[in-house]
């Protein structure tokens, strides 16, 4: 027996501590519900459990994403269902407009509804959205090549060409064209003036192809023209903006633009009176700027100098209808050569071209002198023409009619409906004229100056013979007034090429999994729709032909809409299956994670009760062990 070390008490105390720790852990598991409360409880189990927890959270969010995707395609399908209803109404209207029992006003009323429905279709395509995201977003679509079409390599627009002044009037192009010289470095604008000078701009450098696709302006001004070399070219400022096609290249632009020309001309409106005609008639026409160099004393035309010979009775052949010509004396410009004299003889005579128009909208002459315009409910005139340079009388009779109605095949002439007879008159100088001693010829080929039109009103009941009699009675014309029309200009002619046709496609990626792999994404790919892509942008019902074409156009549009609806339906079915699978995966993964992490309450309660009993027994044994040393005291008594 020893008293320095009570081994029984020490052993009892150790075992009692173990039982207290076991009881504390069981208590923690029972109160928390988890059998893993710290890494030390089960290191491997904790790692597996946490991985499963991350997967469960990701899959739960993925299922919500898929539900949003289902809602997205449901919104799109509902919008397309409304488009289908509108296309059905448009079909009904086109069928209604295709019958010949309707009037022009009836078709016009139908077309107004058609246009409003088209506008609403486009509005739906533009405003339909989900969570503030447009479903058919033209700004964020991915272009897809779906074919080719003939398109210009570039488009051009003329911004201005300058203005005519006293100083530059003879520096304008003598052939009415600005010419382009294009190289790989840049482009120049060249022309030859009436004064004989060859004008040339500096080389204007090309920007990048991307900048050309946005638009690039080529202009003659102080930066691109040396006015110290060409002082007479001031205020001549041709300016053109070129825009390269998205599929074209700079080399294509250079090859196409080089040696091309852009038209420019100034014209004068010429009007006059007719002498000797028993009916209503007048003379009018347009002359180009070169005529202003002939007979005007300044560029702006402040003074007219067109004198009919023989005191106004200037008809060269009287009382005949097969020839119609008049003589004039025109004044020369100060620089017109030869000079002297200060005037020249000019002749105005029929070219043999005659046309007849009627302003009546009688159905009997629809297709002869009027017809339905395909772009609006208005009508436009159809000129029935004839050209007979040897016999004006025959040309008048042919233009007068009778003409065959293309719809009824009945023939009608102008007598029953009235209208107008127009006779083309050419104006020419009887001598070749130039600007200055070394300048260009300023009378056209064959010394032509310009064209006039003798317009004769035809009353209802007047026959071709009556008009011919009136022509015979004309004794002269007097050109009494001219007005400067300003500058007219034209664009650069272009060459076409096979450019790509792009269709717009949208692609949404629905994150349908907890990983970043492509298999965890459901892509939604579909076409961006509009009335243009549906092929009904230009649909109208203004005539039976367009209405019948509209039926086919709407049929094709309906097929496109229904194809997209079927695409959305397939996507919805796919995502519904994906949603069900995600929910099933979450459920089973959660069950597995629970087996690793959650406390088995019944087993743990048994363990807890066992530790409680052992702890109480340990307390009792420890107390007895501590009494062992008391036996030594009894031996000392």
Q: How far apart are CA 297 and CA 335, in angstroms?
A: 9
**Beta-bridge mates of residue 12:** none
Tokens of 211: 């900048």
Lowest mean pLDDT among 204-208, 215-219, 313-317, 369-373: 369-373
Cα end-to-end distance, the chain, whole Å: 16
Of 559, 503, 500, nearest to 526 (Cα)?
A: 503
Residue 576: count other Cβ atoms within 10 Å of its Cβ.
Answer: 14
> What Rg value do the Cα atoms of the chain yield, rounded?
48
Q: How far apart are CA 108 and CA 97, in angstroms?
A: 9
Q: For tokens 């078709």, what's the residue?
A: 107
Compute CA distances 382 → 108, 284, 358, 364, 399, whole Å. Answer: 21, 20, 8, 14, 12
* 228 Cβ contact partners less than 8 Å away, ≥ 6 residues apart: none
Read off the pLDDT of each residue in 508-513 and give the average, rounded to a whole number: 91
pLDDT tens per residue, range 404-455: 988 889 999 999 999 999 999 999 888 888 888 778 887 766 778 889 999 9
Backbone angles phi, psi at 457, to 5 degrees: -70, 135
* 236 Cβ contact partners less than 8 Å away, ≥ 6 residues apart: 161, 162, 168, 171, 172, 199, 220
CB 537 within 8 A of CB 121: no
Tokens of 374: 């395909």
Q: Confidence class of residue 375 from pLDDT cuts 50, 70 and 90?
A: very low
Query: 230: alpha, beta or left, given left = phi > 0 and alpha = psi -120 to 50?
Result: beta
Residue 112: count other Cβ atoms within 10 Å of its Cβ.
Answer: 12
634: enclosing H helix or E strand: helix 630-636
Alpha-carbon dihedral angle through residues 65, 67, 69, 70, given to the nearest 10 degrees: 170
Please state whether beta strands 403-404 and 521-527 pair in parallel, antiparallel, or not at all (unpaired). unpaired
342 vs 64, residue with greater confidence: 64
206: enclosing H helix or E strand: none
CB 420 within 8 A of CB 356: yes
292 vs 460, residue with greater confidence: 460
Where b means 16+ CB within 10 Å and e means fewer, 509-547 reads: ebbbbbeeeeebebebebbbbbbebbebeebbbbbeebb
Q: How far apart are CA 212 and CA 186, in angstroms?
A: 12
Backbone angles phi, psi at 103, to 5 degrees: -95, 175
What's the pTM value of the predicted model, to 2 decimals? 0.56
pLDDT of the residue at 378? 44
Q: How far apart are CA 90 and CA 540, in angstroms?
A: 10
Q: State the DSSP code for 492.
A: P
- Sign of the alpha-carbon torsion through 460, 461, 463, 469: negative
pLDDT of the residue at 374? 46
pLDDT of the residue at 425? 93
CB 617 within 8 A of CB 32: no
Q: Confidence class of residue 149 from pLDDT cuts 50, 70 and 90?
A: confident
Tokens of 237: 């400022």
Read off the pLDDT of each residue in 185-201 and give the average, rounded to a whole number: 93
Compute CA distances 36 → 47, 51, 160, 170, 604, whole Å. Answer: 11, 14, 84, 102, 13
Q: How far apart are CA 590 and CA 52, in angstroms?
A: 8
Lowest mean pLDDT among 42-51, 325-334, 591-600: 591-600
637 vs 480, residue with greater confidence: 480
């Amino acid at each position: 027996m020893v008293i320095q070390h009570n081994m029984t008490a020490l052993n009892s105390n150790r075992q009692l501590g173990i039982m207290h720790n076991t009881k504390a852990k069981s208590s923690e598991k029972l109160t928390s519900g988890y059998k893993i409360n710290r890494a030390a409880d089960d290191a491997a189990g904790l790692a597996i459990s946490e991985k499963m927890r991350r997967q469960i959270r990701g899959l739960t969010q993925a299922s919500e994403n898929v539900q949003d995707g289902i809602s997205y395609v449901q919104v799109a399908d509902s919008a397309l269902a409304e488009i289908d209803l509108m296309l059905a109404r448009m079909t009904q209207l086109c069928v209604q407009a295709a019958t010949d029992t309707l009037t022009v006003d009836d078709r016009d009323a139908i077309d107004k509804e058609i246009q409003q429905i088209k506008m609403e279709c486009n509005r739906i395509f533009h405003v339909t959205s989900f969570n503030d995201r447009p479903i058919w977003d033209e700004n964020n679509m991915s272009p897809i090549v779906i074919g080719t079409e003939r398109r210009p390599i570039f488009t051009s627009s003329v911004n201005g060409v300058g203005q005519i002044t006293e100083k530059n009037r003879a520096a304008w192009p003598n052939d009415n064209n600005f010419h382009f010289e294009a190289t790989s470095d840049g482009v120049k604008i060249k022309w030859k003036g009436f004064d004989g000078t060859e004008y040339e701009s500096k080389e204007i450098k090309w920007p990048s192809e991307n900048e050309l696709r946005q638009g690039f302006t080529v202009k003659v001004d102080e930066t691109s023209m040396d006015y110290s070399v060409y002082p007479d070219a001031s205020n001549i400022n041709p300016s053109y903006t070129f825009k390269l096609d998205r599929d074209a290249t700079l080399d294509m632009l250079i090859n196409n633009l080089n040696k091309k020309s852009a038209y420019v001309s100034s014209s004068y409106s010429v009007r006059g009176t007719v002498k000797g005609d028993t009916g209503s008639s007048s003379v009018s026409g347009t002359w180009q700027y070169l005529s202003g160099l002939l007979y005007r004393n300044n560029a702006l035309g402040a003074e007219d100098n067109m004198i009919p010979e023989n005191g106004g009775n200037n008809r060269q052949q009287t009382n005949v209808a097969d020839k119609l010509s008049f003589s004039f004396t025109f004044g020369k410009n100060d620089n017109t050569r030869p000079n002297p004299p200060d005037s020249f003889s000019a002749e105005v005579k029929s070219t043999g071209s005659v046309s007849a128009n009627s302003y009546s909208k009688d159905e009997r002459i629809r297709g002869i002198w009027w017809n339905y315009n395909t772009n609006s409910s208005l009508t436009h005139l159809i000129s029935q023409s004839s050209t007979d340079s040897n016999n004006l009388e025959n040309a008048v009779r042919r233009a007068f009619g009778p003409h065959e109605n293309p719809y009824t095949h009945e023939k009608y002439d102008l007598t029953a409906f009235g209208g107008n007879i127009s006779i083309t008159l050419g104006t020419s100088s009887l001598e070749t004229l130039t600007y200055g001693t070394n300048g260009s010829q300023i009378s056209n080929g064959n010394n032509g100056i310009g064209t006039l039109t003798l317009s004769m009103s035809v009353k209802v009941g007047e026959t071709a013979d009556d008009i011919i009699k009136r022509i015979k009675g004309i004794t002269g014309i007097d050109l009494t007034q001219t007005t400067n029309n300003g500058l007219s200009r034209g664009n650069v002619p272009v060459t076409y090429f096979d450019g790509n046709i792009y269709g717009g496609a949208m692609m949404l990626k629905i994150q349908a999994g907890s990983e970043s792999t492509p298999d965890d994404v459901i892509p939604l790919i579909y076409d961006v729709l509009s009335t243009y892509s549906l092929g009904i942008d230009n649909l109208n019902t203004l005539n039976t032909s367009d209405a019948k074409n509209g039926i086919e156009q709407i049929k094709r549009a309906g097929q496109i809409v229904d194809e997209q609806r079927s695409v959305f339906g397939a996507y919805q079915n796919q995502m519904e299956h994906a949603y069900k699978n995600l929910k099933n995966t979450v459920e089973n993964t959660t069950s597995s994670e629970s087996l690793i992490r959650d406390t088995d309450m019944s087993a743990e309660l048994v363990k807890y009760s066992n530790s409680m009993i052992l702890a109480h027994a340990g307390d009792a044994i420890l107390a007895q062990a501590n009494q062992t040393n008391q036996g030594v005291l009894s031996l000392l008594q």
